Chains A and B, each alone.
Chain A
Amino acid sequence: MYGRRSGFLTFMLAAGMAFIYVPMILLVIYSFNYSKIVPVWGGWSLRWYETLFKSEAVWNAVALSLKIAVINATFATILGTLAGLAMVRFGKFKGRTLFGGMLVAPLVMPEVITGLSLLVLFISLKQLFGWPQDRGFTTITIAHITFSLAYVAVIIQSRLSGMGETLEEAALDLGAKPFRVLTDITMPRLAPGMVAGWLLAFTLSLDDLVIASFVTGPGANTLPILIFSRIRLGLRPDINALATIIILVVAIGVAIAAYIMFRQERQQQRDMQIVDREIP
């Protein structure tokens, strides 16, 4: 009985894994295909990687995407943390519920709406103040910050409400002024949440196609925009090569994150052991 069930489970697991990974594996294999027509196998080759590395447009897109992602993640983390703090730690202030609702709205808002409304905003701003001159790097970054900060705020908010206020009270009691409490007690304890928020904002920005397409202008192509626009003209082997590299980078990132988590866990276990050993 259990044997049968576990056989079934194994099958389901394999099927699920296949569902996720077979397309990716295909993509990787075809990126090494010599043939110019994707589904036709023409033997192994690195030719498309070469094309890719020689393409200035691709490098520009990568640079633009990374620049936007880093700036976005940094600003979103700062602003999102402040918003989260305001929500949890400043007690009841006027309009708190409204603020809370508005803060998480971008999470559920369809991307096309966010993108469209931001585009409208930028166009009206230009009308009124003549800024932003042209759409591209600045407008995409601003657009990304507006929705990433909501995600960061939610992460920080949940961490804060899980932490309780006793440590902050203890610090106040020991004579620390409120600002010192924020920098010496609250912030260090929020650091893991802020790192998580930064990484999430970074990935969200790298990922985004829809909003960026709305608010970008001529000449400013992020990596997703570039890939999508090229794929529209038909499958291309050099894009497969680009995708393979992205998969590799993501895999390395995940491995590093897993390793850090593993180390933290081991450290905790060691702490417990020290205590256990000493208590008879």
Chain B
Amino acid sequence: MTGEQTLSDTPWLEQGAEPFIKIRGVTKKFGEFTAVDNIDLDIYQGELFCLLGGSGCGKSTLLRMLSGFETPTSGSITIDGMDMSNVPPYERPTNMMFQSYALFPHMTVEKNVAFGLKQDKIPVAEINDRVHDILTLVELQDYKKRKPQQLSGGQKQRVALARALVKQPKLLLLDEPLAALDKKLREQTQFELMNIQEKVGITFVVVTHDQEEAMTLSTRIAVMNDGEFMQLGTPTEIYEFPESRFVADFIGSANMLEGRIVEDGPDHVRVKTDLGEVFIDHGQSVKEGSRVWIAIRPEKMHLSKEPPLKPGPNQAFGMVDDIGYLGDISIYKIRLENNQIIDVTAPNQIRPKSRTHTITWEEKVYLHWQASSAVLLTK
């Protein structure tokens, strides 16, 4: 690890910071099919970077090009200043944690973890020490004589992590590291993974299809679709400022309104939609009259039974179509005048005395949102 220089929390904003991984114009074709399409990406030292996307969008393929199992059809990959074009997997400064863990079934936990160190001709005493330390870190000391078949899913996952970490790679690649665990264990393991990453200080690139997982874990996320990046940014940027309908919809849920720009000021935009006018308090240069979409998150809408004091923008009204009670929050499905259904979520802060909500089915309700809540999307 680089001891002297303290790493910034946001190295990608730093002027002149040298990226740790440079991916330039990388394309991967399988026959006629393009799995990864002309991707440029910089990842910095110490990041926990997530590649997020649906099944078959090319995440694993991109990861496998970093680890050396696939060769890019075109483009170049540089890791820590070294061009990776002709470097085979066994000579790369990377280690990978496989989707199905890929533990060696004929070796004990201990032997699995020691395997990588043995390849480097490290003295036996040092191997033993390092295996011991890493097994302590993942809390598997008591299981070192077990075979993988004798471990639970969570334990296997930790062996796989230990085996990849023990070589102290410059870069750890994780392909769906938590997908095989059940929900509770997965949430707990997410935090463990973050703690471990902080402790060892290794750059992580994680592939996942689970947006919550990506939001929890990462410093930055790249949202992928059909082999291309749809958006790249911090979890907050991606959630609060999606750049396209795809991203707004893929990350969390969003109510989408179609409309036309009526006024484009330097610090605000007015959009005419079926539901009246929407006022957005951040400027965006869009041609007046052009077709746009407005995305508003369900939790950023407010419900009330009372009509607003005075009519204005950012208001709508409708009928409660359905209510979903999730315990901590409730989801209200509101049918608007044009029959569009809008989702609104509200926290259940007060425990209802009877099993009824203050707002119930078929009731007429009013919606409003703040000028900062809506996001203007042009694609």
A-side residues, CB < 8 A to B, are 166-167, 169-178, 180, 184-185, 188-189, 268, 271-272, 274-275, 278-279
- Residue B95 at the chain A interface, CB threshold 8 Å: yes
Residue in A172, A184, A278 whose beta carbon sits within 8 Å of that of B152 in the complex: A278
- A274 touching B105 in the complex, CB below 8 Å, given contacts A174-B163, A175-B120, A176-B119: no
- Residue B194 at the chain A interface, CB threshold 8 Å: no
CB of B149 to closest CB in A, whole Å: 4
The answer to whether B100 and A275 touch across the interface, beta carbons within 8 angstroms, is no
A-B contact count (CB 8 A): 68
The answer to whether B151 and A172 touch across the interface, beta carbons within 8 angstroms, is no
Which B residues are in CB contact (< 8 Å) with A175?
90-91, 116, 119-120, 167
Which A residues are in CB contact (< 8 Å) with B95?
173-174
Chain B, 138-163, CB within 8 A of any chain A CB: 146-147, 149-152, 163
What does the 1/0 interface line of B47-90 toward A look like (CB < 8 Å)?
00000000000000000000111000000000000000000111
Which B residues are in CB contact (< 8 Å) with A176?
90, 115, 119
Which A residues are in CB contact (< 8 Å) with B88?
172
- Specify the chain A residue showing the minimal Cβ separation from B89: A172
Residue in A170, A268, A274 whose beta carbon sits within 8 Å of that of B96 in the complex: A170
Bound-state CA distance A265–B69 (Å) is: 35
Interface range on chain B: under 10, 10 to 19, 20 to 34, or 35 or more?
20 to 34
- Specify the chain B residue showing the minimal Cβ separation from A176: B119
The answer to whether B152 and A271 touch across the interface, beta carbons within 8 angstroms, is no
- Residue B379 at the chain A interface, CB threshold 8 Å: no
Q: A170-B103, A185-B104 are in contact. List 4 more A-B contacts (CB 8 A).
A: A169-B89, A170-B98, A173-B95, A174-B164
Bound-state CA distance A95–B261 (Å) is: 64
Residue in B149, B150, B152, B167 whose beta carbon sits within 8 Å of that of A174 in the complex: B167
- Specify the chain B residue showing the minimal Cβ separation from A181: B90
- Specify the chain B residue showing the minimal Cβ separation from A278: B152
Bound-state CA distance A184–B90 (Å) is: 15
B67, B102, B106 pick with most chain A CB within 10 angstroms: B102
CB of A66 to closest CB in B, whole Å: 31
Bound-state CA distance A11–B329 (Å) is: 67
- A275 touching B96 in the complex, CB below 8 Å, given contacts A171-B115, A176-B90: no
Residue in A166, A167, A188, A271 whose beta carbon sits within 8 Å of that of B149 in the complex: A271
CB of B79 to closest CB in A, whole Å: 14
Which A residues are in CB contact (< 8 Å) with B90?
172-178
The answer to whether A268 and B106 touch across the interface, beta carbons within 8 angstroms, is no
